[in-house]
Amino acid sequence: MPTLCRPAVAVPEHVITMAETLELARAVHADHPQLGLALRLIENTGVRTRHLVQPIEQTLRHPGFEARNLVYATEARRRTPPVIHRALEHAGLGVRDIDLIVYVSCTGFLMPSMTAWLINNLGFRSDTRQLPIAQLGCAAGGAAINRAHDFCTAYPDANVLIVACEFCSLCYQPSDLDIGALLSNGLFGDGVAAAVVRGRGGVGVRLEHNGSHLVPQTEDWISYAVKDTGFHFRLDKRVPTTMHMLAPAMRALAATHRWDVSALDFHIVHAGGPRILDDLCDILGVDPVMYRYSRATLTERGNIASCVVLDALDRLFADGGAQHAARGVIAGFGPGITAEISLGSWTTAAASGVPPAAAMATLS
């Protein structure tokens, strides 16, 4: 079975704290009639620090969509290669071993996709297949894992590279003053992540089952309005309640394969906000400690969109991983409202055939 190896993650060097975010909101939106509510919502996110691809002074200026998209392209090309090389090292592979690149991002637009640039500039084979995913938002991290799983199931000797690149700060819109926009301004952060799914061998999560679930008639709950000034993020006030619809889908997928989602050994889920994690604990009846990695990502980096599940998974690796054959779930949630869910079990060096020294390197 395919194995999801240890991810590599990087965040930009420009940091903004919760205190700085609240002070900015007070200064920029001093006359907003619902400023008090916005400040409470931002503070309740639990986010303590976020990383931005530009200094905050530049982030708050809007030079136009063309200029912002150029920043996206420039920074993506600068920041993804080191992360990709670390992910390949974790998996014990080189660029020539990769058969498919899945590139996910919802915060900039390029055509050809970044996959073409990566193949041309990092030494990947010219017959490497490309799968850009641009419109699944935060769910795209889970979707990338699932599509890599599907590909390696069809081609058991293949290896897939997943790259997630999200510069959410480039979507800041000074003219958007609704509560959802103000909350988003204090919630989202920037990051880059990559991981390899090996068709054979590897240490990490052996992917066994996956599935998708879309909640009917929720297309406008999370969306972009595309205007002359770029992407305008729209967040409906009903979004925090979505786990009441998506948690049952997680339970149903697990039950289809005779797994009990409430009795799993690890949970790696998208942390869109603290309400999501709190509701999952209640609805699925699991100990809050199960979401410590997702919560740490949210606290230290904010919502980094499709990178979240890879960042949370990296924290599991950094914590020593799980016991061999421990069962777990990985889930990304995003627009649609969509859930991308994966079930898998932990595989160690002894089970995968990876030399012990190489296996220890993936966990260090």
Helices (H), 98-206: 114-122, 140-154, 179-185
Query: Residue 62: which domain range?
Result: 3-198
Pair 153, 29 in one domain: yes
Give the domain-ending residue among 198, 215, 236. Answer: 198
Our count of domains for the chain comes to 2
Contacts of 179 (CB under 8 A, 6+ apart): 34, 37, 38, 41, 237
Q: What is the CATH number of the domain that holds 223?
A: 3.40.47.10
The answer on 224 and 192 residing in a single domain is: no
- The two three-digit tokens of residue 62, written as one number: 């809007």
Residue 253 and residue 175 share a domain: no
pTM of the model: 0.94
Flag whether 325 is in a domain.
yes
Choosing from 5, 138, 152, 165, the catalytic residue is 138
Give the chain's largest Cα–Cα span.
63
Tokens of 159: 């290896």
**pLDDT by 10s per residue, the chain, length 364:** 999 999 999 999 999 999 999 999 999 999 999 999 999 999 999 999 999 999 999 999 999 999 999 999 999 999 999 999 999 999 999 999 999 999 999 999 999 999 999 999 999 999 999 999 999 999 999 999 999 999 999 999 999 999 999 999 999 999 999 998 899 999 999 999 999 999 999 999 999 999 999 999 999 999 999 999 999 999 888 998 999 999 999 999 999 999 999 999 999 999 888 999 999 999 999 999 999 999 999 999 999 999 999 999 999 999 999 999 999 999 999 999 999 999 999 998 654 444 444 444 455 4
- Find the angle CA(102)-CA(107)-CA(113) to the nearest 5 degrees: 40
Helices (H), the chain: 18-28, 35-43, 56-59, 65-91, 114-122, 140-154, 179-185, 243-256, 274-284, 292-301, 308-318, 349-352, 356-363
* Pair (38, 60) in one structural domain: yes
Is-catalytic flag, 138?
Answer: yes
Instruction: Identify whether residues 194 and 225 lie together within a single domain.
Output: no
Distance CA 223, CA 218 (A): 10
Same domain, 14 and 152: yes
Residues 212 and 172 in one domain: no
Which residues are bridge partners to 103 per DSSP?
Answer: 132, 163
